[in-house]
Amino acid sequence: MAKIQVVQIQGQVQIQWRAERAPSGRWIAVCQPMNLVTEADSLDELHSVINEAMQLLLVDLLRDNELEAFLRAHGWKARLPVAANPADVQFNVPWQLIAEGAHDSARRPY
């Protein structure tokens, strides 16, 4: 089994995800910098889904040899592993969830 290589995304990175509760009761989260949208039944589940969505996007970009250009376009950088299998790379991306309508209808970071 291959060893997982962790890649830290660096730069002015604190990616914000904005989440709102839909009329159905599910949480919908949007991340404009990464052009991602995801949903879940709870805020706890949403945290897991967000991590998975970012991981899948970054692995796809790495696999397609587009990751460096994507990071550069956002002012981010990372020390990428040389000749690594994209499936063996785990990305560590700092992010924050801003939940609108959580409990008291106020904006709250989670």
pTM: 0.83
pLDDT in tens, 23-73: 999 999 999 999 999 999 999 999 999 999 999 999 999 999 999 999 999
pLDDT of residue 38: 97
Specify the 3-state DSSP secondary structure of 47.
helix
Polymer length in residues for the chain:
110
State the Cα–Cα distance between residues 69 and 63, nearest whole angstrom. Answer: 13
CB-based contact 31:17 (threshold 8 Å): yes
State the Cα–Cα distance between residues 42 and 22, nearest whole angstrom. Answer: 11
